[in-house]
Every structure is written in C-alpha cells, then in structure tokens.
Amino acid sequence: VAAAWASVPFPALHGSSLRDALCAHQQDVPWKLLASCRERKGSSCFAQAVVLRGVGKDKHIRQPRSPLPAWESTEHILQCYLHTAFPGAFSTCHVLEQPCYTQPPYPQFFSPRVSRQGFLLDKPPTCSPAAVESIPVLAALQSAPVLHTLLYGLYKDLQKLNTRRCASFFSAGVEHDDFQEALHELRTLSQCYETEFEAGESEDEADSD
C-alpha cells in the first residue's frame, strides 16, 4: 500500500536553484498528501519513491556557485534532501528534465505569480499574465504511518455498515462471513503501518466510541 503526494506546480522561484527551492522548505516538505486524510506536520515514512520533472537542467533554474563538486547531480541534491527530511527511510528519486505541459484543454487555475514556464515570480506581473504552458511537478509514493490512519478509518466506516440493509449486495455472491473476514484483514493491514503515535490515537478513538 502506498500514499500519493504531489506538488503541482513544484514551488521553485524563477531563476533559483533546486537547492534553494528545497532549502526554503526545511521545516515541511513542499508537497501535499492527495488523500482525504488529516495530514500531520513533520510526519515520517518508511520508504518512498519520488519523481521530479522540469527542474533538472532547465535554463530557468541556475545551479548556484557552491564549494561542492561540479559532478553533483540534480538527483544527488534531491536524494540528500530526502535523507535529511526522512532520516532512516529508504528513499529513491528520479529527475526528468521535461516538464508537464499545460496547454489547452488543461485548466488555467494557476496564481498570477506563476510564470509561463510554471515558476514562481517575486511579485505578480503588472500586465495580464500569460497562460501557463508548462509546470515543474514533484510526485511521491510513500509507505508511511499515514496509511494506518487511512486504512483504519476505512475499517471503522465499513464496520458501521448495517449489512441487513445490503440484501442486494450479498445476493450478488458476497458471503457475510467473507465480508467479516475482509474487515478483519483490513484492520490487520492497517496495523502494519502503525507507530506508537498512531497506536495512541487508535486507543483514543476506541475510548471515544
């Protein structure tokens, strides 16, 4: 099981480096959980796969002068950030130079501070902003404690289901015992992603019930 996270567009200032963009988010990662679940700040993960598009060697992202070796790649910069933000987690990353294109019929829901190439401007343009043609995007799949919250929440919702009102559902071939066994397996699966913090939250929820 994996939780999906994304940043659309990835928040990089026009003319800045990837290192600058990542360092600006040392307190919290610059991508958001895509599931309808309460996101806890500073949450950890067990393993993750991250893909960043449109920030590699793009002419709008200049690599800063640095004492670090010149061979330091964009993948290495992102990998170092992941190890810092998620210590102890297995992290793998991949960087693609090609951005995500946003020409019509892609909806233009972007802020006026987003440039035509999808990078953030210091201030909104004085004239009418041009349509955004492409954007840098970061996407991640994580095996993380938040999956306990998602799976356990699904288990609690299904547990409240009155199966007597689902005659048509069970007449389609689903046995009541199979349904209960699936519920039990769902709860067991949620416990695979449980940490001490999530265990405390589960006990609080059980007490409130």
Any bridge partners for residue 7, and if so which? 138
pLDDT at 201 over 70: no
Q: Is position 209 within any domain?
A: no
Looking at residue 69, its pLDDT comes to 44
Range of the domain at 151: 147-198
Q: For residue range 190-199, list pLDDT tens digits in order.
A: 999 988 665 5
> 16 vs 7, 22, 54, 131, 173, CA distance in Å?
17, 10, 13, 21, 59
Q: Are residues 164 and 115 in the same domain?
A: no
**pTM reported for the whole predicted model:** 0.77
**Element containing residue 52 per DSSP (H, E):** strand 47-53
Is the domain of 29 the same as that of 131?
yes
70 plus 157 within the same structural domain: no
Q: Are 35 and 125 found together in one domain?
A: yes
**Residue 64: both structure tokens together:** 């800063």
Residues 23 and 83 in one domain: yes
Alpha carbons 196 and 157: distance in angstroms, whole number? 23
Q: Are residues 136 and 159 in the same domain?
A: no
Does residue 27 sit in the same domain as residue 111?
yes
92-121, pLDDT tens digit by residue?
A: 999 998 999 998 899 999 988 899 999 998
| Amino acid of residue 9 | P
Domain membership flag for residue 76:
yes
The pLDDT of residue 46 is above 90: yes
Per-residue pLDDT at 61 exceeds 60 = no
Q: Which pLDDT does position 59 carry in this prediction?
A: 41
> What's the total number of domains in the chain?
2
Q: Are residues 28 and 125 in the same domain?
A: yes
